Structure 1
Amino acid sequence: MQIYKVGGAVRDRLLGKPVTDIDWVVVGATAEEMLAKGFRPVGADFPVFLHPKSGEEYALARTERKSGRGYGGFTFHASPEVTLEEDLIRRDLTINAMAEDDQQNLTDPYHGQRDLEDRILRHVSPAFAEDPLRVLRVARFAARYAELGFKVAPETLELMRQLSESGELEALTAERSWKEISRALMESQPQVFIQVLRDCGALKVLMPEVDALFGVPQPEVHHPEIDSGIHTLSVLEQAALHKQPLTVRWACLLHDLGKGLTPEEEWPRHIAHEHKGLKLIKAVNERFKAPKDCQELALLVGQYHTHGHRALELKASTLLELLQSFDVYRRPQRFEEFIVACEMDARGRKGLEQRSYPQADYLRGAASAARGVAVQPLLEKGLKGPELGEALKRERLKALKAYKESASS
């Protein structure tokens, strides 16, 4: 029995990055031997075991063969005869197909170390094209390592293109897709993930609503970058630079989908794109079964982001409607995320990345003014039910009018 550290742990050590998860491969062992040593079995598809003390995963060396469509369409064969090289060849990228023994001796049959040095994301073997999930994984690695100068090898991009055109991407489950998408959006350069998906034709399969934004112009006075797709990438880039959470990044990606529906004769204007985009945002949310908080914020940002930009001009009654839509009294955090999404939208424009956004503090002040209205005096007057609701609304409107006056003086 020989045990090797494999995959990401080896890759990240060689890159000088912190190693978080460690995967192990066991060569020359049977499942019975693992159980005898106290390992606990997990995984129905192939023999993976948890170490009795560390809890880390140890997998028996295995080969795989394509047997059906999609990510799960494989049969696996694990036996003591399977070599380390045979196990490594089934992996996605050369930089993930290296192994180390306990003396840190490197086994690198597919030249992963060379590709690390050359900053190349390259597939290990033609079998790469058998697993559609790898399209998303490679795009995610491109987003993670873009800051180090990594690029996808042209021949790997070509295989990704073939996969995108094969119909295999449609076989991915919403859960698997969302896991990769959400992880990619939280990388340091999530806009690279979207760009790579577009470069290989996967974006128009997975998110045609986002793909449709590229080539759609906007008024240059507000958008020096002009192209709606480029703007979306820039907004996503700003969200990552400002360390925003997943909810905000997802909303940033989807906020302008309505612009993809504008007839060409109306370009570069996009009248009512906020309202038109809601059905598209809803469709993307449902396609990937995004978490509820991501879905809700994306829809609210899509509908109201121009309200955010025009915050200082809004009437007190419109401000109140906006605050009510977000339920700022019970869910203040959601409104805060809306504000920062609007700010990322304003900064995601060529040459305007450092612009100030006074609307943010203005909206925070408005929310504070509305929340500051006390309910107790109205209860003491004997108001309840709809009467109480209306009285509360009137008092909040009064508070917002006073706030507007003080803010403009």
Structure 2
Amino acid sequence: MQVYKVGGAVRDRLLGLPVTDVDRVVVGATAEEMLAQGFRPVGADFPVFLHPKTGEEYALARTERKSGRGYGGFTFYASPEVTLEEDLIRRDLTINAMAEDDQLNLTDPYHGQRDLEARILRHVSPAFAEDPLRVLRVARFAARYAGLGFTVADETMDLMRQLSESGELQALTAERSWKEISRALMEDHPQVFIQVLRDCGALKVLMPEVDALFGVPQPETHHPEIDTGLHTLSVLEQSALHKQPLTVRWACLLHDLGKGLTPEEEWPRHIAHEHTGLKLIKAVNERFKVPKDCQELALLVGQYHTHGHRALELKASTLLELLQSFDIYRRPQRFEEFIVACEMDARGRKGLEQRSYPQADYLRGAAQAARAVAVQPLLEQGFKGPELGEALKRERLKALKIYKDNA
């Protein structure tokens, strides 16, 4: 029995990056031998075991064969005869197909170290094209390592195009797709993830609503970058630069979907795109079974981001309606995320990335003024039920008028 570290642990150590997840493969052992040593089995699909003391995962070396559509359409074969090289060849990228023993002796049959040095994301074998999830994984790795200069090999991009055109991407489950998308959005360069998906034709299949934004012009006075798709990538880039959470990054990706529906004769203006985009945002949310907090913020940012940009001009009554829509009294964090999403939108414009965004503090101040209105005096005056709600609304409107006059 021989145990090797494989995959990301080897890759990131060679890159000089922190090693977070350690995967181990066991060569020359049977499931019975693992159980006899106290390992605990997990996973029904293939033989993976937890170490009796550390709880870390150990997988038996295995081969795999395509047996159906999609990510799960494989049969696995594990046996003591399966070699380390046979286990490594089924992996996606050469940089993930290296192994090392406890003495750090490297096994690199597919030249992963060479590709690390050349900053290339390259598939290990033609079997890459059997798993559609790998399109998303490669795009995610491109987003993760873009800052180090990594790019996707031309021949790997060709295989990703083939997969995008084959219909296999539609076989991916919503859960698997969202897991990759959400992880990719939290990388340092999430805009690269979207760009790589677009370059290989996968964006058109997975998120046609986002793909449709490329080539759609906006008024140059507000958007020097003109192209709506490029603007979306820039907004996503800003959200990562400012370390925003997943909810904000997801909202940034979807905020302008309505512009993809504007008739060409109306370009470059996009009247009421905030409302026309809502059905598209809902469709994308449902397609990937997106978590509720991400869904809600994306819809609210889509509907109200232009209100955010015009905050200083809004009437007190419109400002109050905006605050009520976000339920700022019970959900203060959601309104804060809306504000930063609007700021990312404003910064995601060519040459305007450093421009100040006074609307942010203005909106925070407005929320504070509305929240400061006390309920107790109204209760003491005898208000209750719907009348209390109306009285509270009147007092908050007064507070916002005062705030607006003094701002």
TM bucket, shorter chain: over 0.9
**Please, which runs of 5 or more residues in structure 1 have no aligned partner?**
none
Alignment of structure 1 residues 125-164 onto 2, 5 Å: 125-164=125-164
Q: Helix, strand or coil: the match of 1:354?
A: coil
Deviation at 1:110, TM superposition (A): 0.1
- Normalising by structure 2, we get a TM-score of 1.00
Deviations 1:208-247 (A, max 9, x none): 0000000000000000000000000000000000000000
For 1:11 and 1:374, how far apart are their aligned partners in 2? 58
**Residues 196-205 or 375-384, more deviating:** 375-384
Deviations 1:257-297 (A, max 9, x none): 00000000000000000000000000000000110000000
Deviation at 1:187, TM superposition (A): 0.0
For 1:194 and 1:24, how far apart are their aligned partners in 2? 31
Q: Alignment length, in residue pairs? A: 407
For 2:25 and 2:387, how far apart are their aligned partners in 1? 68
For 1:257 and 1:385, how far apart are their aligned partners in 2? 40
Deviations 1:11-37 (A, max 9, x none): 000000000010000000000000000
For 1:377 and 1:354, how far apart are their aligned partners in 2? 45
For 1:333 and 1:102, how far apart are their aligned partners in 2? 47
Alignment of structure 1 residues 275-314 onto 2, 5 Å: 275-314=275-314
**Residues 376-385 or 79-88, more deviating:** 376-385
Any runs of at least 4 consecutive aligned residues in structure 1 with deviations exceeding 3 A, and if so which? none
For 2:94 and 2:138, how far apart are their aligned partners in 1? 11
Corresponding residue number in structure 2 for 1:352: 352
Deviation at 1:198, TM superposition (A): 0.1
For 2:370 and 2:305, how far apart are their aligned partners in 1? 20
Deviations 1:287-318 (A, max 9, x none): 00110000000000000000000000000000
Deviation at 1:197, TM superposition (A): 0.1
Q: Helix, strand or coil: the match of 2:244?
A: coil
For 2:147 and 2:237, how far apart are their aligned partners in 1? 12
Deviations 1:315-345 (A, max 9, x none): 0000000000000000000000000000000
Deviations 1:42-82 (A, max 9, x none): 01011000001111110000000000000000000000000
Corresponding residue number in structure 2 for 1:273: 273
For 1:219 and 1:64, how far apart are their aligned partners in 2? 52
**Please, which runs of 5 or more residues in structure 2 have no aligned partner?**
none
Deviation at 1:370, TM superposition (A): 0.2
Q: Helix, strand or coil: the match of 1:389?
A: helix
Corresponding residue number in structure 1 for 2:333: 333
Deviation at 1:381, TM superposition (A): 1.2
For 2:341 and 2:323, how far apart are their aligned partners in 1? 16
Corresponding residue number in structure 2 for 1:203: 203
For 2:195 and 2:133, how far apart are their aligned partners in 1? 17
Deviations 1:79-133 (A, max 9, x none): 0000000000000000000000110000000000000000000000000000000
For 1:163 and 1:43, how far apart are their aligned partners in 2? 27
For 1:134 and 1:379, how far apart are their aligned partners in 2? 60
RMSD over aligned CA atoms reads 0.3
Q: Helix, strand or coil: the match of 2:330?
A: coil
Deviation at 1:354, TM superposition (A): 0.2
Q: Helix, strand or coil: the match of 2:4?
A: strand
1:381 aligned to 2:363? no
Q: Helix, strand or coil: the match of 2:230?
A: helix
For 1:349 and 1:55, how far apart are their aligned partners in 2? 48
Corresponding residue number in structure 1 for 2:50: 50
For 1:239 and 1:102, how far apart are their aligned partners in 2? 40
Deviation at 1:144, TM superposition (A): 0.1
Q: Helix, strand or coil: the match of 1:327?
A: coil
For 1:35 and 1:380, how far apart are their aligned partners in 2? 71
Q: Helix, strand or coil: the match of 1:72?
A: coil
Alignment of structure 1 residues 198-277 onto 2, 5 Å: 198-277=198-277
For 1:345 and 1:45, how far apart are their aligned partners in 2? 43
For 2:207 and 2:54, how far apart are their aligned partners in 1? 40
Q: Helix, strand or coil: the match of 1:204?
A: helix
Deviations 1:346-389 (A, max 9, x none): 00000000000000000000000000000000011111110000
For 2:66 and 2:327, how far apart are their aligned partners in 1? 50
Deviation at 1:177, TM superposition (A): 0.2
For 2:53 and 2:79, how far apart are their aligned partners in 1? 24
Corresponding residue number in structure 1 for 2:68: 68
Give aligned-pair identity as a percent: 92
Q: Helix, strand or coil: the match of 2:18?
A: coil
Q: Helix, strand or coil: the match of 2:296?
A: helix
For 1:93 and 1:53, how far apart are their aligned partners in 2? 31
For 1:370 and 1:46, how far apart are their aligned partners in 2? 57
For 2:224 and 2:52, how far apart are their aligned partners in 1? 59
For 1:175 and 1:217, how far apart are their aligned partners in 2? 33
Corresponding residue number in structure 2 for 1:30: 30
